[in-house]
Every structure is written in structure tokens, then in C-alpha cells.
Amino acid sequence: FNHLATMPRSALALLAPALPLCGGFVPPNGSPRRFGTTNGAIHPQEKSMTALRLSVAGGAVATAIAGFAGWLYVDGSDDRERRRRREAEEAEYAAYEEERARQAYVEPREYWTEEELRAYDGTRDEDGPILFAADGVVFNVYKGRNFYGPGGEYHIFAGRDATRLLARTMVEEETEEDAKKPLNMAERAALAGWMITFKGKYEIVGKLEGFDPKTTSMTRM
């Protein structure tokens, strides 16, 4: 009966005719109607009225139950339809993600060269893989295509070793002079933060060949 709190007035109104069963017949003037008796026997008029009251009340209860059941069915139908639409949307999205992953798949390998990475900057295939290296690890970042694909804010990282740009939080090429400077401790810490994000979000497909971990180590300067 928790549904009673949310029943529309039209449904509650169906219960009104059944009220005579709960406390006797009360006429509009508010005073209970009584009938006399003859020699201790129930007056025929009272018998007739009692039968009428029971008949009307019984019909009202049946009508109320039918109306309430109908309301519950309609309310349940709405829930079932919403659930059906939600399940259909979830299935459609899962199929989309599966197809997206299939198109962007790249076979993992032990090592990648920087030359090999250049072929995966996202410009050759708008649905294909996008690779870049960071701190010696190669990631497939196709899930972040809006960021790393052509026209994206971080497209400069794609198809290359983006270690120094990430560490220095740069979205433009370093000058020749800056590129010769070692990363300081703050920059190495920034790179470590990026790596936590990438490892939790993107697929690792290998390592960068020839990468020197001492250039980014937090313990070696």
C-alpha cells in the first residue's frame, strides 16, 4: 500500500463509495439513520436498506479494487518501458564501444621506435589508434581522441615521445636550447602525475626503444 501515497485523486476517489462499510451509513445531515423495530424484530424497511447498503458497498469495493489494480498496472507499465529503453541504450552504447575499440586496436609489442610512433598520430585514420610515449611507456590513447587527435588541444603529443612536453606542461615545441636542459624535480613530479592518469585510463602497448629512465627518475638528477 505504499502506492497509496502517490495515487492520483481520480484513483482515490474510487475508494469513496466503500466508506459505508467502515462505519455505517451516514446521510448528508451527519446524523446516523435509525429505523424502528416491531416486537424486537427488524423493521422490513431496515432490512431492505441494509441489503441495499451491502449491495452498493460491495459494488463500490469491487470497482475500487479494479481501479486500483488498473492504476498499478499502468504505473508498472511506465516503469517497464523506462527500463526497456535504458537497457536498449546501454546495449547500443556497449556495441559502439566494442566497435570503436576494434577499429583502434594495435598489436602490442615489446618496443617501439620513435619512427614507428609517427605513423600513429591520428592523421591517417580518424578511427584508428593514436600512440605516444611518456616516460618510456607507449600508450594507445584513442579513447582521448578529442584531446590527442587532429585538431585536439594535445595533438602535439601524438605519434612521438611526449615525455619532456608533458613534464614541462607544454603544448608547443621546445627551443633547441631548452631541449638540452635536464628536467628539474618539479617537472619530473609533474610527469609522474601524468603517468598515474595515463596508466589508469589508456592501454599500454609497449615501451619506447632507447629511452633512458635516468632522465626522468625522481631519485636521480
pLDDT at residue 218, rounded to an integer: 84
Residue 113 backbone phi and psi in degrees, to 5? -95, 160
- What lies within 8 Å, CB to CB, of 91 at 6+ separation is none
Residues 64 and 119 in one domain: no
* 15 lies in the same domain as 71: yes
Residues 91 and 129 in one domain: no
> Do 203 and 148 share a structural domain?
yes
- What is the number of domains present in the chain? 2
**Looking up cell 590527442, which residue turns up?**
148
For residue 198, what are the domain limits?
A: 111-215
Same domain, 95 and 171: no
The CATH number that applies at residue 198 is: 3.10.120.10
Query: Across-strand partners of 204?
Result: 139
Based on the fold, state whether residues 12 and 86 are members of the same structural domain: yes
Neighbours of 159 (CB within 10 A): 22
Q: Within this chain, do residues 15 and 51 fall inside the same structural domain, yes or no?
A: yes
Tell me which residue of 161, 158, 152, 147 sits closest to 191, measured CA to CA: 161
Residues 132 and 160 in one domain: yes
Domain boundary among 65, 86, 103: 103
Residue 34 lies in a domain: no
pLDDT value of position 71? 61
Residues with Cβ within 8 Å of 140's Cβ and at least 6 positions away in sequence, in order, are: 104, 106, 129, 130, 131, 202, 203, 204, 205
Intervals of the chain under pLDDT 70: 1-62, 64, 66-76, 220-221
- Are both 207 and 130 inside the same structural domain? yes
Q: What is the pLDDT of residue 172?
A: 96
Query: What pLDDT, on the 0 to 100 scale, is given for residue 13?
Result: 55
Is position 27 within any domain? no
Q: Are 124 and 101 in contact (CB under 8 A)?
A: no
Co-location of 57 and 90 in the same domain:
yes
